[in-house]
Amino acid sequence: MICFESPHRLVAALRDAVAAFGEDRPIAVARELTKRYEEVLRTTVADALAHFEATKPRGEFTLVIAPA
């Protein structure tokens, strides 16, 4: 599943993903795709949530959630 998310809604979307898919579902969180400061975080949904709760999200995000 591919979702596009704003930095203001990212943490809420990750919380919803944990509730819907579980903590261990693999996810890739890409920031600022095709731009100068592009970053990709490949981890689990729970770890991505913990990361972005501790670090304020900035930029446009693309979430790629692995199938069950």
Domain ranges of the chain: 2-65
**Domain covering 2-65: architecture:** 2-Layer Sandwich (3.30)
d(CA 12, CA 34): 24
50, containing H or E segment: helix 45-54
pLDDT of the residue at 54 = 98
Nearest CA-CA partner of 48 in 24, 67, 66, 32: 24
What size, in residues, is the chain? 68
pLDDT digits (tens, 9 = 90+) for 16-63: 999 999 999 999 999 999 999 999 999 999 999 999 999 999 999 999
pLDDT of the residue at 28 = 98
- The SS3 of residue 40 is strand
pLDDT of the residue at 37 = 92
